[in-house]
Structure 1
């Protein structure tokens, strides 16, 4: 028997509304809230939340002495098409040179790493 159920994944960032808007552009869904806490409810009812973090320092990737802490794996049908769309939204490529792999690594506008993965 489970002790708890997952409520939301929360990303610290300097501008919660802006980062929620980026992920809404990637995943769809609706952004709600202002100020220090903003929620994104994606299709299917899952939630991502974004919390203001004064002095936020983005993770470094790859850097064994500065762990990325966590990352999101986002499944897509077409890596090239998805890549073009997320770059237009403000993502930055981190590890995209090996085009034969089934994943590519990017940073969101606040610097959190995430992967596009072939579904």
Structure 2
């Protein structure tokens, strides 16, 4: 039996509006904010992403167990569009953490502008 439903996934960051704008470009949606401490990215028929002000946020390191990733998002992209998707997220301000050097993986690991890891996964 379910106790409740997941209403949002929230990421701590130093600049909620900027990180919400990054993810709006990455996965779509509408940025909604009443102030600079909490910003929602509303997505029709999909999970809300929220961004919470954390002035002392320290970004996780990849891969480093001393500064673990805490959470990461998997973003599905068409297999044939993986290279284009990589170029687009890099242009938005993402950082490549782990690519597909030998062409055998179906995912690539990036950090968003606040340092949170996310993966582009071929579908």
Counterparts of residues 46-61 of structure 1 (less than 5 Å)? 46-61=47-62
The answer for the alignment partner of 2:2 in structure 1 is 2
Match of 2:83, SS? helix
**5+ residue gaps, structure 2:** none
Supply the RMSD in Å over aligned alpha carbons.
1.0
Match of 2:61, SS? coil
The answer for the alignment partner of 1:87 in structure 2 is 90
1:96 aligns with 2:99: yes
How far apart are the structure 1 equivalents of 2:90 and 2:43? 20
Counterparts of residues 1-119 of structure 1 (less than 5 Å)? 1-33=1-33, 34-77=35-78, 78-98=81-101, 99-119=103-123
Deviations 1:65-85 (A, max 9, x none): 221111000000121111011
How far apart are the structure 2 equivalents of 1:65 and 1:19? 24
What TM-score do the two structures reach when normalised by structure 2?
A: 0.92
Deviations 1:29-78 (A, max 9, x none): 10000310000012324200000002110011100222111100000012
What TM-score do the two structures reach when normalised by structure 1?
A: 0.95
